[in-house]
Amino acid sequence: MNNAVEIRNLMKNYGETHAVAGIDFDIYQGEVFALLGPNGAGKTTTIEILEGYRDRDGGTVSVLGEDPSKGSLTWRNKIGIVLQSNNDASEITVEEILNFFSDYYAHPRNVDEVINAVGLDEKRKSRGRELSGGQRRRLDVALGILGNPELLFLDEPTTGFDPEARRAFWDLIRELRADGTTILLTTHYLDEAEALADRVGVINHGRLIEVATPATLGGRDDAKVMVRWRENGSTQEERTDSPTEFLRTLSSRLSGEIPELTVSRPTLEDIYISMIEGQA
Amino acid sequence: MNTFKIGVSRGNLEIRQFLRQRESVVFTLLFPVLLLLIFGSVFKNTISPGVTFSQYFVAGMIASGLINTGFQQLAIMIPLERDDGTLKRLRGTPMPPASYFIGKILAVLASMFVQILLLLLVGTLIFGVHLPTDMGHWITFTWVTLLGITGSTLLGIAFSSVPRSGRGASAMVTPIVLVLQFTSGVFFIFKDLPSWMQNVASIFPLKWLTQGMRSVFLPNDFASQEVAKSWQHGQVALMLSLWIVIGLLLALKTFRWERSR
């Protein structure tokens, strides 16, 4: 059992709807795996089956060597969960809830360290209802990492973060990864997936379209490069497999500096959108 | 043992949260005392030689205090916690599920204790309620309270699965408690109720709880004023135990950690 998560032919139906219609993938020990897909694609259903919240209708699932539908409390000690949205703990402070929750874990992290790691030092005496959306989310993350998990589930963790908080969160995830934590992340921010994930999986209509590294997803590494420049008073575009060669030709034709030159490879978002639209 | 330790930690958290919600403190703890002050001041009549309505009412309010702090509080709070994600979050931690319920029970016991104390204080200081002086009555008080609060707590946990949302829970639970209070010998003298109403109320635990509490706080010879001409301790114990079994079975069978989709 080397993989943190192994999923084979996973299926889940809600009435007539096949929310998850046969998914296979593995998450390797110690990697950050991002699950991408539009709303309603089956991301949360999949992640909640892995977390032990939902029963599956078919297939096999192994999470840290156990079937999550029978997840023992010992197993729960090894996983951390950040759910999509919570409004609990409105009357208790950040510091209090973390102290209380650390009673539930066998090997909790130090509460002060956790508060510091998520950047809530100034809010440690604030009650849940006094926190902003982004601060609440950071409290959720704090509670998720409190138990020192081997495997951390993050379901849209940075919703409501300002850019600075998002960067700080990325640093936190990188630290956790460096400590050997395996992370399953869902996000709607493709730059986040690119910045954090070792591998990404794209899921739509309950099926997995592709699993790859952010750099190679959807043939991104082989995709043509877009060159844009200004010539004869208008913007010109050229898609090419050999941009260096093309630029050399262009430069000599325009005798030197190329006006308003940009050379760009497709972003992860470009690739993702074309994959999802190709499915629709 | 760890389950119990975490349960105590949960209880501590529950009580802290309870005390910080002014609505819950006022509604659960002070409202019954306020009712006692109003009813006790309005109905000053004597219902039997040596027994005033306010004495009868104090016994009834202590009985319904067990329903308020157990059944009502839990049947309203748990759906709210199901809605706001408290339960789902806890389910995702290694907290043993039993610890959650131990915490709830400790919180119920704490508010029950405060409520009974307040009612007895107001009852004895203002309305001339006599506290029993012999051991026998206090033993009765203890077993009636224990059976009552156990059943009330279990039924509250069981009923928490009925409201579809936390928002609707209060509107659903409060009328049930009120109807029981009207028909079980809290606001009215039980003996004066139409017999069909007495029969219906006798199915539910509050009728037996009020009767048990009257046997503690009213003179022994008032037993002759009861419908059955006796305190019926056997039936009280039997009916309350029966409701404990029903509550336990329902709670185990129906409890949900997430709202239904």
Which residue in chain B has the smallest CA separation from A103?
A: B6
Q: Which of A50, A93, A100 to mutate to test the interface with B (most CBs of B within 10 A)?
A: A100
Chain A residues with CB-CB distance to B under 8 A? 14, 51-53, 73-74, 76-77, 79, 81, 83, 85-92, 96, 100-101, 103-106, 127, 143, 147
Q: Measuring CA to CA, how many Å separate B184 from each of A278, B118, B200, B235?
A: 68, 22, 9, 15
Mean per-residue pLDDT over chain B, rounded: 91
Interface touch A106/B81, C-beta < 8 Å: no
Interface touch B89/A14, C-beta < 8 Å: no
Indicate the SS3 state at residue A263.
strand
Q: Measuring CA to CA, how many Å separate B191 from each of A69, A89, B127, B198, B224?
A: 54, 46, 22, 8, 11
Q: Kindly give the confidence (pLDDT) of every residue in chain A, 280 residues in length, as a single tens digit, with 9 standing for 90 and above.
A: 579 999 999 999 998 889 999 999 999 999 999 999 999 899 999 999 999 999 999 999 999 999 999 989 999 999 999 998 778 888 999 999 999 999 999 999 999 999 999 999 999 999 999 998 889 999 999 999 999 999 999 999 988 788 988 999 999 999 999 999 999 999 999 999 999 999 999 999 999 999 999 999 988 888 888 899 998 889 988 888 888 999 999 998 888 889 899 998 888 998 999 899 876 5
Element (H, E) at A204: strand A199-204
**Residue ranges in chain A assigned as alpha helix (H):** 43-50, 73-76, 94-102, 111-117, 133-145, 163-178, 190-196, 243-253, 268-279
Half-sphere exposure of B199 (CA within 13 A, CB side): 3
Which residue in chain A has the smallest CA separation from B17?
A: A91
Q: How far is B196 from chain A (nearest CA, A)?
A: 45
Residues of B in contact with A74 (CB under 8 A): 94
Cβ contact A145:A169 at 8 Å = no
Residues of A in contact with B99 (CB under 8 A): 104
Cβ contact A141:A154 at 8 Å = yes
Strand-pairing partners, residue A32, are A183
Tell me how many residue pairs between chain A and chain B have CB atoms under 8 A apart.
67
Residues of A in contact with B92 (CB under 8 A): 51-53, 76, 79, 81, 83
Closest CA to A144 of A175, A180, A113, A101: A101
Domains of chain A: 3-78+149-213 (3.40.50.300), 90-140 (no CATH), 219-279 (no CATH)
